[in-house]
Amino acid sequence: MAPMAEIKSVELKVGLEVHVELATRTKMFTRAPSPAHPDYDDSPPNTLIDPLVLGLPGALPVMNREVVELSASVRKCS
């Protein structure tokens, strides 16, 4: 059995990973249209793509500003 001092020094750490589907016009890290946006509901499969989505060499991600703003508003950040 562990000594009582070791048991008392134990801390609980909890982490949460949250996934959401935001109805933004473009995807999170690319300018490709987002299938979650109402304008693109009827898009055929594999059409909302660009070089980054395809993983082509040299394609660099660009953060979607709207996603950052929506995320901050959920947490009531400014």
pLDDT tens for the chain, 78 residues long, are 667 777 778 888 999 887 888 889 999 999 999 988 999 989 999 999 999 999 999 999 999 999 888 888 876 665
33 DSSP β-pair partners: 26
Q: What is the pLDDT of residue 76?
A: 65
CB 47 within 8 A of CB 5: no
Q: What is the pLDDT of residue 5?
A: 72
- For the chain, which residues make up each domain, given as ranges? 21-78
